[in-house]
Amino acid sequence: MEAHPALSIEGLGHCFGPRRVLNGVSFSVAGGDFTVLLGLNGAGKTTLFSLATRLYVQREGTIRIFGMDIREQASECLRRIGVVFQQPTLDLDLTVEQNLFYHAALHGLSHRDAAERGAAEIERVGLAAQRHDKVRRLSGGQRRRIEIARCLLHRPCLLLLDEPTVGLDIASRQFMLDHVRRLCREEGIAALWATHLIDEVGEGARVVVLHKGEVRAVGEARQLLGETRTPSMRAAFESLVQEREAA
């Protein structure tokens, strides 16, 4: 299983009616990698996440999770994925703990495991004191932290995070980034972090630049700077997305 990349996407395409939103997308994320999927709004990031989580079924190309085709082994694939969607998905009228128990049950975890892991994860995101609070009473940043804690309950090996820092203040954004990077570094979890915020691409991160449904570049941040001969990630990104339009 470890011989395969955590996520491997090959020739992925998708259309909504006549509108093509993804075209020949190919890249992979290795175990323990923190990969940033960088693209403007409308680049196709959320569609890609919906395909990788089987909310949509892909008809063009393949998506493999640790070597397993998501169309053929959906259940096995979904067991290994933890997801934070762009849209908040917590039940506002339930407490933090009740939300965690619900998620754990959907993955078949026992109440005891859910309680132990839930307590550990909310401790890690610094919200142990709020575990009996209704989610409605939490701030946006706290809700996002709970979503991160929740997606780790079933111990996934691959995290898919779709713009998890949208709408958060600087401190909360930094916490989320540091937390996920730590999970990759210390626990070998692979993460695909979708964002349109260029400053979230840290040094040494792998970057996949997605623009208008197509992959424009894949590589380490430094490598992209070299290839585009630009001094900053912002300049590199602008160069990559304008290159073909100019041509």
Partner 1 sequence: MKAIHYLRCFAGITTREWLRFLNQRGRFFSALVRPLVWLAIFATGFHFVLGVSIIPPYETYIPYDVYIAPGLIAMILLFNGMLISLSMVYDREMGSMRILMVSPLPRWFLLTAKLLAGVVLSVIQAYAFLAIALLWDITPPWYGYITALPALILSGLMMGALGLLLSSAIRQLENFASVMNFVIFPMFFASSALYPLWRVKEASLLLYYICQANPFTHAVELIRFALYGRLEPVAAVVLVAATAIFLTLAVYGYDPARGLMQRRAAD
Q: For binding to partner 1 (CB under 8 A), which residues are involved?
A: 16-17, 19, 47, 50, 53-57, 74-76, 78-79, 81, 83, 85, 87-94, 98, 101-111
- Please say which residue, 77 or 208, places its beta carbon nearer to partner 1: 77
CA-nearest of 203, 205, 227, 204 to 217 is 227
- Please say which residue, 111 or 244, places its beta carbon nearer to partner 1: 111
Strands 34-38 and 206-211 turn out to be: parallel
> Least separation, in Å, of the C-beta of 200 and partner 1?
22
- Please say which residue, 82 or 241, places its beta carbon nearer to partner 1: 82
- Please say which residue, 8 or 99, places its beta carbon nearer to partner 1: 99
Residue type, 54: R
Helices then strands, counting H and E runs in the chain, come out as: 8, 10
Q: At what angle are helices 111-124 and 140-151 packed, to 10 degrees? A: 130
> Least separation, in Å, of the C-beta of 127 and partner 1?
18
Looking at residue 157, the DSSP 8-state letter turns out to be S
> Least separation, in Å, of the C-beta of 86 and partner 1?
9
The CA distance from 165 to 163, in Å, is 6
Instruction: Give the ranges where the chain is alpha helix by DSSP (H).
Output: 45-52, 74-79, 96-106, 111-124, 140-151, 170-187, 221-228, 233-246
Tell me the CA distances in angstroms from 89 to 65, 107, 137, 145, 164, one per residue in order.
Answer: 23, 16, 15, 12, 12
- Please say which residue, 104 or 207, places its beta carbon nearer to partner 1: 104
> Least separation, in Å, of the C-beta of 146 and partner 1?
12
> Least separation, in Å, of the C-beta of 171 and partner 1?
24
- Please say which residue, 62 or 230, places its beta carbon nearer to partner 1: 62
> Least separation, in Å, of the C-beta of 15 and partner 1?
9
> Least separation, in Å, of the C-beta of 44 and partner 1?
12
CA-nearest of 141, 120, 105 to 131 is 120
- Please say which residue, 17 or 231, places its beta carbon nearer to partner 1: 17
Rounded to a whole number, what is the largest CA-CA distance in the chain? Answer: 59
CB 155 within 8 A of CB 187: no
